[in-house]
Chain A
């Protein structure tokens, strides 16, 4: 049920990927997304698939666990690919009805878009699955520290992110609980048309908002009680430090990007 949402969840395991510095993983994710949206041709696709496969294997996160996260974006993928399929003009037209048409470019675009979205979710969820929210925001804060000079409140942003991430599982659990409590009172969240379903959300959303505000107030109070006053002069218990495996990982990721770019220029086929 609702517990199965895996986006933003951490999966504990003992793998080289879990031990990696979060900055490396952030960097790798950015590079991966760039590679994913600028590759051309079958060789590039094969390279990315291979890279993704290898990283998933190394991470020791069960593949089944990752695919659960995909369910959430099924609708998005279908809509995108349907639009691509029917609304792209191309050289060879297979079928035409009004402004709708199926063309060769349309089919290729639809397939590519589906692959890109699925890979995007798999790759990025791999980062959150192998990095605890704390590590992640810690990495982000350190990586973005130079922006402080331009008056960007990096610490506040990182703190907000870590609180938001921390609250995802709590709110999911809360939703699950309230949903069950209302179901015990005969509420029906599954059947009915759109309007009925939207109406059925009220008994869920009102208590959820009430409790979210209450939690936020409690948290703010608890932070102030412990003298939290922003990032100024704040030190870390575990400062991030690069180790040799992090340097190796950087090298591998850059090598991967170079390979994808070369592949795109040498074998830009079939697109």
Chain B
């Protein structure tokens, strides 16, 4: 089970003044069970890239293979692809439309043509998986708080039981508590449900703590692709393209420069703490 992108190119409004080459020769392989962070500043092509992965945008050139099947084949079912690669857009709460929360979550599985019982079972399960309080199930979704709405929207995609879940800036516009809540929830889903997660963000801090692979996008191409430690080691280059390594990385480099032989590869506060205590012992 994997998604392979082979030399994918994409450009908007070709042949006009608005022409933009959004993606340039993207080669990627996404394996089962990975937890990936895609990072890049605004306009680096990260949102365009993820929309290729479930066929919402068709590449101008290049091929995409899902489990070895070419998704641009005539007889390949896009609907099935979209049920197996779930995509949660930025500000997903804007897509809610039903009269009750439960009905809205049912929308996805209902579109898959499942029978009523299975649909409701899945909606129920999905809402439970995102930790949504049961007594609010039959309330209209428009009265909820931002963070709650986002949970409902994520449940709406989760109810389709995707094998890969892509989330575009799931923490945008949330306060720190809401951010930790959503990220914790995602990481928990990765562990408990065993689904592949692709997390798009422009905040290294968010991503460093959870993912085990980082893809850095810059001007439509992949700049780095590797483990967080390896990527953050290039923090000088990241700064040059408008990104930053987690604050811990800076602290550790500063301490190292001052003569304290700490571990430069620490990316989270926990790791840093351990390393500093080790050295000071």
Contact = CB atoms under 8 A, between A and B. Distances in A.
Contacts of B87: 181, 184
Interface string B11-26: 0110111000000000
Contact of B111 (A64, A186, A206): A186
B142 A178 contact: no
B92 A3 contact: no
A207 B86 CA distance: 20
B118 interface: no
Given A178-B95, A185-B95, A210-B94, 8 more contacts: A64-B16, A177-B89, A185-B82, A186-B83, A186-B107, A186-B111, A203-B97, A207-B96
Contacts of A207: 94-97
Most buried by B among A64, A177, A181, A182: A181
5 contacts: A11-B16, A184-B56, A184-B82, A185-B108, A210-B142
Given A11-B17, A12-B17, A184 B94 contact: no
B17 A203 contact: no
A227 B16 CA distance: 39
Main secondary structure of the interface of A (DSSP, over half): helix
B154 to A, nearest CB: 11
A206 B97 CA distance: 6
B107 to A, nearest CB: 6
A245 interface: no
Interface in A1-42: 3, 11-13
A178 B204 CA distance: 27
A211 interface: yes
A219 interface: no
Contact of B107 (A12, A13, A62, A185): A185
Interface residues of B, number: 28
B112 interface: yes
A13 B96 contact: no
A188 B111 contact: yes
A117 B15 CA distance: 26
A62 B15 contact: yes
B221 interface: no
Contacts of A181: 87, 89, 92, 94-95
